[in-house]
Amino acid sequence: MVLKKILVIDDEENILESLKGVLEDEQFVVETTKSGSQGLLKIKKFQPDIVLLDIWMPEDDGLQVLEKIKRTLPEQIVIMMSGHGTVETAVKAIKLGAFDFIEKPIHFDKLLVMLEHAFEMKALKSENKILRDAIEEDEQLIGTSLPMVRLKQLVQITAPSNGWVVIQGENGTGKELIAKTLHRESPRAKERFVAVNCAAIPDELIESELFGHEKGSFTGAHERKIGKFELANGGTLFLDEVGDMGSKMQSKILRALEECVIQRVGGQDLIELDLRVVAATNKDLKREIKLGHFREDLFYRLNVIPITVPTLRERREDIPLLVEHFIKRFSPGKPFPMAKNALSVLQSYPWPGNIRELKNWVERACILSGGDVLNWSEIANFDPEPTAEEATGPEDKNLREAKAGFEKQFILKVLSENGGNISKTAQHIGIERSHLHKKIKAYGIDVSDQGGN
């Protein structure tokens, strides 16, 4: 059992004794002291979870002691006690960072409830910190190769500016991670980072998803909904898969970004926008413009700072570092024997799915190693996933194409039967909506041609 430690600072001997008795009965470890100056020294040595601090002491002013504690240990939980409690002093104490305030004579049941709340908050705070550290650890851009060093430099220079960015790179190269890094290292870091998957919003929901809607503005609008643009206001709006959005969405987005104001569907108010926009795509947008798939004016609006992310094939020397990083994540605390042969296998593979594929592979290797110390000569025998091309011979390729052709026709047929409604089509076919979306995207199907609007 983890010991819960409480330090009581009060000049009255009888209070110290009675509190010590009651709190020890409740299994707390308790120390007491009669003055603020001694209390400050005791905090360093005893490291209490919670300090109970009297406000009125002949030698010290409890509020000043509280200030000193908070200056060196801002996280220390302090509960103030006072027999002459006025609302004013209580408010002052809370403003100085006290957790709570209890009046004397102390009602023990009340104190115990207060302590329970304080310990709950402490547990939540430390859990929060662990989670935040884990996220930060997980969101590091790993790599020391020249392309990676250049990329990190560019990210570092770009992040503090307000400049809009278009990130281009193959699947799984880390575009979203870069977008998050740009946000985290910008003056907007305390505001929201809101991602919009531009390829996944059906035409009929574009305005409501992006700009929100008022209650009752259309059938099914049971509540007011805040759209992604408004959610991101003051922060960063991440337009993901920007090269895959349909023409309707392109024009809506361009208009909002040019005018810098939006209106919720059915709303009267104009909402002014203060956004930093970061867009990402695996497509070559200039080529998409030539093909007539992407609006040139939108491209120039977004593309203030272009960032191109290298593929993993272009920076194979980063593979050992990445593998080590992912092993720490998936098998924390395990030693890391690095066998050269295993790494050379990993470094010679083309990694068409880039870092995401490598990450998944390491996770699988960690699981398959059965929780033992990772045996790298064994792992070298697990083939990384072969590419589709490698997995199938020439005849198989024809068969694959035939299957794909059939699948595309089938999806087109069911889509048109359901008026282009993706949810209904997914239900009819019996697959997840998101899965159907991927297929629609992969086959380049234009849903609006199938009756969707």
Ligand X SMILES: Nc1ncnc2c1ncn2[C@@H]1O[C@H](COP(=O)(O)OP(=O)(O)OP(=O)(O)O)[C@@H](O)[C@H]1O
Instruction: Report in angstroms how near the CB of residue 284 gets to ligand X at its nearest.
Output: 14
Q: Does 145 bind ligand X (CB under 6 A)?
A: no
Distance CA 262, CA 272 (A): 7
Binding partner selected for residue 48 from Mg ion, ligand X, none, CB under the kind-specific 5 to 8 Å limit: none
Q: Counting contacts by CB under 6 A, is residue 310 touching ligand X?
A: no
The three-class DSSP label of residue 321 is helix
| Tokens 């593929």 sit on residue | 311
Q: Is 361 helix (H, G, I), strand (E, B) or coil?
A: helix
330: alpha, beta or left, given left = phi > 0 and alpha = psi -120 to 50? Answer: alpha
Q: 175 vs 264, which CB is nearer to ligand X?
A: 175
Q: Does 282 bind ligand X (CB under 6 A)?
A: yes
Q: How far is the CB of 203 from ligand X (least distance, A)?
A: 22
Which option in Mg ion, ligand X, none does residue 152 bind, with CB closer than 5 to 8 A by kind? none
Q: Provide, rounded to whole angstroms, the least separation between the CB of residue 16 and ligand X.
A: 53
For residues 368 and 382, is the Cβ–Cβ distance under 8 A?
yes
Out of 141, 154, 221, 231, the only residue in the binding site for ligand X (CB under 6 A) is: 141
Q: Give the Cα separation of 71 and 65 in Å (integer).
A: 10
Report in angstroms how near the CB of residue 173 gets to Mg ion at its nearest: 9
Q: Give bridge partners of residue 101 from the DSSP assignment.
A: 80
Angle, CA 370 vertex, CA 366 and CA 375 arms, to 5° = 65
Relative orientation angle of helices 175-184 and 146-158, to the nearest 10 degrees:
40
Report residue 271 as tokens: 């909402």
159 vs 278 by CB, closer to Mg ion: 278
Contact letters for Mg ion, residues 222-261 (x by CB under 5 A): ----------------------------------------
Distance CA 169, CA 282 (A): 5
Q: Which two tokens stand for residue 393?
A: 């011979």
The distance of closest approach from Cβ of residue 452 to Mg ion in the complex, given in angstroms and rounded to an integer, is 24
Does 282 engage in binding with Mg ion (CB under 5 A)? no
Residue 356, interface with ligand X (CB under 6 A)? Answer: yes
Does residue 307 contact residue 151 with C-beta atoms inside 8 Å? Answer: yes
Minimum CB separation of residue 453 from ligand X in Å reads: 27
**CB nearer to ligand X: pick between 140 and 162:** 140
Q: Name which of 232, 237, 240, 243 is nearest 175 in CA terms.
A: 240
DSSP 42: H
Closest separation between CB of residue 326 and ligand X, Å?
A: 8
Among 26, 31, 176, 417, binds Mg ion (CB under 5 A): 176
384 φ, ψ (degrees, to nearest 5): -60, 155
Asked if 352 is part of the footprint of ligand X (rule: CB under 6 A), the reply reads: no
Segment near Mg ion (CB under 5 A); pick from 20-28, 90-98, 170-178, 186-194: 170-178
> Quick check: 195 binds ligand X (CB under 6 A)?
no
Residue tagged 């991927």 (tokens): 438
The bridge status of strand 212-213 relative to strand 225-226 is antiparallel
183 forms part of the interface with ligand X (CB under 6 A): no
In this chain, which stretch among 103-111, 170-178, 230-238, 260-268 interacts with ligand X, using CB under 6 A? 170-178
- What residues make contact with ligand X under the rule CB under 6 A? 141-143, 169, 171-177, 282, 325, 355-356, 359
